[in-house]
Structure formats: structure tokens, C-alpha cells
Amino acid sequence: MSYLAAFVLAIISYSLINNVVLSRFYGICSFIGVGNKIKSAASMGIAVSFVIIMASLICYPIYHFILVPAGVAFLDTITFILVIASLVQVVGLFIKKFSPSLYRALGIYLPLITTNCAVLGVVSENTMSNLDFGMSMANAIGTSIGFLGVIIVYACIRERLESSNVPNAFKGVPIALITAAIMAMAFLGLSGMVG
């Protein structure tokens, strides 16, 4: 199998089969918190995708060309957190400048991308499974596509749910959690598609 084919397969695998939210259960906080309006869900997805891809891009050389040669590979987590926190700050400044209304809509969930385990999960998975640069980027891109797609689909379902007749006990977050569970079960059907 050529490298390109492996790259594409890895993207499909990370975005659909090992979906970040629905089968690895990363990044649930922003998934539930922002996934009630399509517009804010889409912008949250794009913000998280940007942070994931940039963090993988920056952390790979830092880990392999600075930390490992210096013999301090144990500093990986704190270094990654440092990079991710700075990236989130930049994204926050950017959104505040170009879309103040979006900044208000995302609210606390924007700085919380720092502690979004989807981001740190991807970056430390890259180093722990010793993926090379191409595969690290495939992991980052696939995870981003997976997160973006799932949060938008989820927001669409929740917008429809708002106008439907839900039993009183399930209104709001309970029915949202049940929706997420059914989506996770649906995604389970894709497992085993790529080895």
C-alpha cells in the first residue's frame, strides 16, 4: 500500500470509524455545551479543528527535534499544554476581533478548548504511538473532520428536537445525551471497515 493510500485511509479511519467524540469519547464538554445551535456548533468545530491541526503541526517538531534529543521526553505533556494554551489564546483574540457576537455565543467554551481532551489526546497519541509526521497530520486532520462533522450533525438534530414534543422529564440535556448515545451506536456500525 502506497503512503498516500495509507494517509487517506488513516483520515477516514480517524474521522469516521474511530470518531473522536462518538467512539473515543474525547471533547464531550464542548460537544454537549455548544451543540444546540448549528451556527455556533460549526464555528466551535472550526475553532477546535484549527487548534488540533496547528497543535499537531507545532508539537511534532518540538517533540522530535528538541525534547527527544535533549533527553527530556518526559516534558511532553506540559509542553503540549503550553502550545495548545497559546494557540487557544490566539484563536480567542481572532474571534473577538472579527466576530464579537460569535465571541459572546461561544462564551466560556472558547477558552475551555485549552482543556479539551480531543486536542491533547490527538497530540499525545501521535507521540505515544510513534507516528511519523504524515500519519500525525492524518490523525489531526481526520480527528478534526470527525469532530466538525459530528458536532454539526448533532446540532441539526438538536435544533429539530427543540420543535418536537419531548416528554417533560427528557427536555433539554437528557434528550441531548440520549441523542448522542444513539449517534454513538450508529457509528459503531462502521467499526471494522478499515483495519
Partner 1 sequence: MMYVLYAFLILAGLGLVLGLALAIASKVLEVKEDARIKEVEKMLPNYNCGACGYPGCHQMAENLVSGAETNLGKCKPGKQDKNYDPIIAYLSEHPDEDGTKHIPSVKK
Binding-site ranges for partner 1 (CB under 8 A): 62, 66-67, 70-72, 75, 78-79, 82-83, 86, 89-90, 93-94, 96-97, 100
Contact yes or no for 147/118 (Cβ under 8 A): yes
Please say which residue, 68 or 188, places its beta carbon nearer to partner 1. Answer: 68
User: Considering the complex, what minimum distance in angstroms separates the CB of residue 93 from partner 1?
Assistant: 4
Contact yes or no for 47/57 (Cβ under 8 A): no
Contact yes or no for 140/13 (Cβ under 8 A): no
User: Considering the complex, what minimum distance in angstroms separates the CB of residue 119 from partner 1?
Assistant: 16
Please say which residue, 71 or 189, places its beta carbon nearer to partner 1. Answer: 71
User: What is the grid cell recorded at 89?
Assistant: 489564546
Please say which residue, 16 or 88, places its beta carbon nearer to partner 1. Answer: 88
Q: Which of 8, 16, 6, 3 is nearest to 144 (CA)?
A: 16
Distance CA 17, CA 37 (A): 25
Please say which residue, 89 or 129, places its beta carbon nearer to partner 1. Answer: 89
